[in-house]
């Protein structure tokens, strides 16, 4: 998968969106492709989280996520079925919410047809960002 970057404006505070982003174990509740996510280690603003993702096939991987509340989260691959997975969320306060910039660079390590890679970048990524936005906005309104 090529590197990708997308922005989305969310009608929630940076703190609320940051809370949604860093509640990793909750991902399966609102991201259908995530089968499970569990924090396996934690230390000084960093967490190791094991994910099981199922889009075309089941993929397992562990990321180290470094949190800078409520401004950013960046990650790197520790181990798993992927060759590489690095990226970040950057949150910028707006007068009526937050602008979230999501960057990701993933190498799957297995043969993946071009049409599937295009779908991941073109359809799945925007839908994922919308899911995060809906969840943060729902928390803001309650």
Is the entire prediction scored with pTM above 0.85? yes
User: Nearest to residue 10, comparing CAs of 118, 138, 105?
Assistant: 138
* Cβ neighbours for 141, distance < 8 A, ≥ 6 positions apart: none
Residues 38-49 pLDDT 10s:
999 999 889 999
The pLDDT, as a whole number, for residue 117 is 54
The residue segments making up the domain with residue 75 are 4-141
Total number of domains in the chain: 1
- What's 14's domain CATH number? 3.30.530.20
């Amino acid at each position: 998968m090529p590197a990708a970057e997308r922005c989305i404006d969310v009608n929630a505070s940076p703190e609320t969106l940051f809370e949604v982003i860093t509640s990793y174990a909750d991902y399966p509740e609102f991201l259908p492709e995530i089968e499970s996510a569990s924090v396996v280690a934690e230390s000084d603003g960093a967490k190791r989280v094991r994910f099981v993702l199922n889009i075309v096939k089941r993929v397992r991987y562990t990321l180290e996520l470094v949190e800078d509340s409520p401004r950013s989260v960046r990650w790197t691959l520790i181990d798993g079925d992927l060759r590489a997975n690095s990226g970040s969320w950057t949150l910028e306060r707006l007068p009526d919410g937050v602008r979230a910039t999501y960057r990701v660079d993933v190498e799957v390590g297995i043969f993946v047809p071009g049409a599937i890679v295009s779908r991941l970048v073109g359809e799945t990524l925007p839908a994922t960002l919308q899911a995060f936005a809906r969840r943060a906005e729902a928390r803001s309104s309650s």
